[in-house]
Chain A
Amino acid sequence: MRITQGCFSFLPDLTDEQISAQVEYCLSKGWAIGIEYTDDPHPRNTYWEMWGNPMFDLKDAKGVMLELADCRKAHGDSYIRFNAFDSTRGFETVTMSFIVNRPKVEPRIRMVRQEVDGRSQRYSFETVR
């Protein structure tokens, strides 16, 4: 199943050229790019593993793309995403996030229902391979 987190998951997977253009956009806004990877796309899995710190003070997308290539070498069968961090007062958060690599076979997320009071259900999710 195709996980549709991130802001371009409904488009065909981005080429490296397209990814690079988005990085240029982020850098032009003064945002720092962080690379993160995981094998658990649970909707509440906020903290993917960091491939190093966000890259502050970068001027050129090439540096990010080199890091991506290294990350893919190490974790090519995982999800990899780019997060852009905006330090502007009033934001100070992730301001863009998109997937740049997917595992060959994506896991499924299974919904588990637990009967509670009356007709209410307690829902939880499990990543299933």
Chain B
Amino acid sequence: MADGNTKREITDKKERYRAGVLKYAQMGYWDGDYEPKPTDLLALFRITPQDGVDPIEAAAAVAGESSTATWTVVWTDRLTACDQYRAKAYRVEPVPGRPGEYFCYVAYDLILFEEGSIANLTASIIGNVFSFKPIKAARLEDMRLPVAYVKTFKGPPTGLVVERERLDKFGRPLLGATTKPKLGLSGKNYGRVVYEGLKGGLDFMKDDENINSQPFMHWRDRFLYVMEAVNKASAETGEVKGSYLNVTAGTMEEMYRRADFAKSLGSVIIMIDLVIGYTAIQSMAEWARQNDMILHLHRAGHGTYTRQKNHGVSFRVIAKWMRLAGVDHIHAGTAVGKLEGDPLTVQGYYNICREIYNPIDLPRGLYFEQDWADIKKVMPVASGGIHAGQMHQLIDLFGDDVVLQFGGGTIGHPMGIQAGATANRVALEAMILARNEGRDIRNEGPEILRAAAKWCKPLEAALDTWGDITFNYTSTDTSDFVPQVSASM
């Protein structure tokens, strides 16, 4: 072992390439002096090294296993410009308040990645390294994607600006609801729920993630009845309406078939699930771009790898990948609803979807600045256990560019589905009007809602039914840089 320092690259070539096993740091995967280039991809991993494994060596191993390294020295490295192909861990620091965990920053040269391929990016960055024995756990917390790389992707087929122009809806969040029960309705019954929700005041209805083409409802039946409902509601209100037709299926061929049928019926939007995979998502984005279609992505399955702090991939990274891959909508959390997510962390996801530039924002979990190079913006969707009584909180947290989806809060309304939809729409418009008038909706929100409920019976009934419902559990995935904020405010 050269000079016996196991944390430094061995510079003597003979020593470096002698057959055998070296520490990753000795092989050159750690460089504490490295200054990342503007064209480098940067990744931040949270790692938990096995007992007795030095954090710097663990970081070097992560860099190695996610770029060129294997477990032993290979002479064939010398046929390549291997110094440049090696990813470099360049910073390691303990995670505040989490003993045994370290943040490790790794830089990758742009040449390592194929242009326009999320599959290629992820095969490198999360391909092998999460199963690597010397670390107990690893989590990809954030990435900085250089402009040169961002520009190799086409991004969202429609983007939130054009979506609003197509729908002719401006100045307020969009409203939606997921048709419930999610399984079991016949096509005719399903379309009834869609019609009632849209006529009552929603902009969108939505298929759920697991409604595809089951024995109780063939997909063509669903599409036909839903489009009858969408168009009828449009005629009754004078508004453009939509229902996310889920085209998720077992093969690309079948997904294209379903998407083509949705288009032939005049739908403005189709939907896919995250579980179809990154390449399938990019293909559907391509299809949507060619067919003037808004593409909604349900993040089905993400909780298996995004929720736990010590292992997996943070949702903020998934959101970045999906903006590149090209979806127009993505479920990004509610903060106040039934599903995981503390408010600041969730706001971080929203900023990734909607900003043209993200500054470093540690409380919101944004560790790198990110220039989006004018790639289109993704409309985030807040869905899961939210109701009209939280309208002020939702608008205060997320602003106007979001789809607020009240599934149970619409369909479970005591006066019926139309009344449920109307309650939500009135609550929304009353709150936007008040905010624009300069009122402090965070504090005066409940009063504003009650005042509107005086002339709107459906809203009164909604507040009486759900006004006190909160999901007050501690979040699992929280910021490492602020005092904990409770899940429900």
Contact = CB atoms under 8 A, between A and B. Distances in A.
A44 B240 contact: yes
B239 A111 contact: no
A52 interface: no
B323 interface: no
B429 A7 contact: yes
Chain A interface residue count: which class? 35 or more
Contacts, number: 105
A96 B201 contact: no
B234 interface: yes
A11 B171 contact: no
Contacts of B213: none
A1 interface: yes
Contacts of B436: 21-22, 25
A109 B356 contact: no
B171 A97 contact: yes
Contact of B168 (A5, A14, A92): A5
Q: Max chain B CB contacts within 10 Å: which of A3, A5, A18?
A: A5
A46 B168 contact: yes
Chain B interface residue count: which class? 35 or more
Interface string A65-88: 000000000000000000110000
A25 B265 contact: no
A13 B264 CA distance: 38
A63 interface: no
**B-side interface mostly:** helix
Contact of B374 (A18, A90, A111): A90
A11 to B, nearest CB: 5
A125 B238 CA distance: 9
A4 B238 contact: yes
Given A18-B433, A41-B238, A111-B232, A10 B171 contact: no
Given A10-B422, A90-B356, A109 B235 contact: yes
A90 B430 contact: no
Given A18-B433, A111-B232, A5 B239 contact: yes
Contacts of B426: 10-11
B371 interface: no
16 contacts: A4-B237, A8-B433, A9-B429, A10-B425, A14-B433, A22-B437, A41-B238, A42-B238, A95-B170, A97-B168, A97-B169, A111-B234, A120-B224, A120-B264, A123-B227, A125-B234
Interface of B: 161, 164-165, 168-172, 201, 224, 227-228, 231-232, 234-240, 264-266, 356, 374, 377, 422, 425-426, 429-430, 432-433, 436-438, 452, 455
Given A7-B170, A11-B429, 9 more contacts: A3-B237, A4-B201, A4-B239, A8-B429, A10-B425, A93-B164, A96-B171, A121-B265, A125-B234
